[in-house]
Amino acid sequence: MSEDDDGAVKRPGINFLADGRAKVALWAPYASKAALVLPDEKLTLALEKKEKGYWELVTDQIKPNDKYKFKLDGTKELPDPASKAQPDGVHGASQAIDVNNFVWSDQSWTNPAIANYLIYELHTGTFTPQGTFASIESKLAYLKELGITAIEIMPVAQFPGNRNWGYDGVYPYAVQNSYGGAKELMKLVDACHKNGLAVILDVVYNHIGPEGNYFGNFGPYFTDKYHTPWGQAINFDDAWCDEVRNYFVQNVLMWFRDFHIDGLRLDAVHAIKDFSPKHILQEIKEAVDGLMAKTGRTHRLIIEFDLNDNRFINPIDEHGYGMDAQWIDEFHHALRVAAGEPKTGYYGDFNGIAHLAKSYRDAYVYDGIYSPQRLKTFGTKTNNPGQQFVVFSQNHDHVGNRMLGERSSTLYSFEMQKLMAAAVMVSPYLPLLFMGEEWGEQNPFLYFVSHSDEKLINAVRKGRQEEFKEFHANGEAADAQAEDTFNRSKLNWESLERGHHKTMLHYYRALIALRKKLPALYTLNRQQLAVKFNEQEQTLHLHRWQGGQHVHCFMNFSKQPQYFTTPDKDLKMVLDSSSAKFRVDEPAQPYQASVIQPESVIIYVN
């Protein structure tokens, strides 16, 4: 990596020094000359060529909030790849932001132990009617009362227009202008910490979105050695890769150091292709460790990852990459099939109740066994602790990638939804909720974009139609470009206190409170666990213990009452999802000892 005279690794873009001057660092190794253009001041400042393709300048002529572009070779004027703000969108001028000007009030904040994370995934644009960071603040007391300890915000890197999931972001350093920009994100993080909530931010380092992507004009940010499903592969191990790696390492450090983010969720790291002696994830982890040693704050790196290779989450001193935790979709897939999901697409590898039991016990379902879908032996065994795995019954991907964007609330019975929620909450892993599931939100979460390039808009439409061509008998995929598609995906907060939504929320609060109360549930010890299942009856018995406390969870995924036997006559029932207080449309069945009602869960503690 390149270094400044003071020994600090280069921070790309415009960064303000303590004396108020701006330090400019642009990586453009192919340019013969480079300049900074300030259009409002009608000023052009030449940059000085440095080593390894950098162009630099330290000046007092740039002030916070000034708009600027870079001019390469005297002709092309382009936004800054490391822009911290794009007030006029992805094609407009960048804006200089002084991240040091914000006054924080979270000096006493301590990031909770990761084992205590109870995560709530939300999308800023659809979480509230207003779709802004400021409006999220108004819901923090609600989330705290629910029992959440960490919110996870889907990507906020600047994307085209005002409507996008965030995975089409094209400025990894810039905070989406329509959400409120950098200052409003800082205010939200500060407010979360004041309310005892950690903040996880979703970031994308496996590709850059198509519209507004000017990276190729500056240098070899991409490589043709590999390909991703979403665009050009980022150059992490080809010629000139050192400064590309630095660009993303510095992005990680910016979120932690300047925005006080507690954790990052790195999207689809299996699509990051890097065969360097030191993987980019390990380099990121080492840089974060260095930052934590310097500041005394704790930050975490959580990955979305589907290769079932625990090298990614093993410690560096055990030849791993050092990631703190990973999502495991396999738990979700097994749970959904147990709940009645047809075994099509990526569900085809899962048989339901037996694989759910295996995921409780082994984390990975495919841990060195043959995968019929992949036509090969897949995965490795893992002894990693439970706190290194994030599980869920639904998330943005598995809802939004359905043709009609259906949530569990429209796919499963009221009783089955409660059973699925419990299956997640009693696991020895980190539970994640997707916004609105706790009250059975029925609005869909659809795929939406707001591109300005007609060719790209048509390509998205065509791609969605092709993706779901086998399902057209069930209707047509929503037009991702239409504003109505976005508006239909917003949460309906008015339903919260009505009918079955109110009952479901009451149930989730009770379930979360129970998990946080019982050491046998909140202690994520995968070794102190036993699981039995009956495929014919579609029942599962999960037994977890900690110290002298034993918790027994009996789950019935069938549509008939089933008999079960408690291992200890002195057990006390602490939750029955079929009890009257958790039902709405029909009366609860009279309680019968050793009988579990259809699609329900009973939890006992000694």
Q: What is the pTM of this model?
A: 0.97
* Domain co-membership, 375 together with 316: yes
Q: Contacts from 132-135 at CB under 8 Å and sequence distance 24+?
A: 132/178, 132/179, 132/180, 132/184, 133/179, 133/180, 133/184, 133/185, 133/187, 133/188, 134/180, 134/184, 134/187, 134/188
Q: What is residue 56's DSSP assignment? A: E
Q: How far is CA 123 from CA 163, 175, 380, 430, 437, in A?
A: 11, 14, 33, 20, 13
**Which residue, 328, 327, 431, is CA-closest to 116?**
431
Residue 568 among the catalytic residues:
no
For residues 28-46, average pLDDT: 97
Domain count along the chain: 2
Residue 304 among the catalytic residues:
yes
pLDDT (0 to 100) of residue 472 = 46
Domain containing 337 equals 114-154+163-196+266-503
Local confidence band at 5 (pLDDT 50, 70, 90 cut-offs): very low
Phi/psi of residue 215, nearest 5 degrees: -55, -40
* Domain co-membership, 489 together with 538: no
Q: Annotation-wise, does 269 bind a ligand?
A: yes
* Domain co-membership, 321 together with 470: yes
Local confidence band at 467 (pLDDT 50, 70, 90 cut-offs): confident
Q: Annotation-wise, does 314 bind a ligand?
A: no
Which CATH number goes with the domain that contains 589? 2.60.40.1180
Beta strands in 229-368 (DSSP E): 231-234, 263-266, 300-304, 325-327
Specify if 511 maps to a domain: no
Q: Annotation-wise, does 484 bind a ligand?
A: no
The residue from 184, 211, 258, 267 that is catalytic is: 267
- Domain boundary among the residues 488, 503, 518 is at 503
* Domain co-membership, 402 together with 480: yes
- Span 56-73, pLDDT tens digits: 999 999 999 999 999 999
Non-local CB neighbours of 52 within 8 Å, separated by 6+ positions: 2, 27, 29, 242, 243
Specify if 567 maps to a domain: yes
Cα–Cα–Cα angle for 251, 253, 257, nearest 5°? 125
**Which residue, 391, 388, 385, is CA-closest to 425?**
391
Specify if 434 maps to a domain: yes
Residues present in the chain in total: 606
Q: Annotation-wise, does 332 bind a ligand?
A: yes
As a whole number of angstroms, the distance between CA 268 and CA 284 comes to 16
Which CATH number goes with the domain that contains 384? 3.20.20.80
As a whole number of angstroms, the distance between CA 271 and CA 583 comes to 43
CA 429, 432, 437, 438 dihedral sign is positive
* Domain co-membership, 322 together with 445: yes
Indicate whether 2 pLDDT > 50: no
Q: Annotation-wise, does 500 bind a ligand?
A: no
- Span 98-152, pLDDT tens digits: 999 999 999 999 999 999 999 999 999 999 999 999 999 999 999 999 999 999 9
* Domain co-membership, 467 together with 576: no
The residue from 152, 262, 274, 304 that is catalytic is: 304
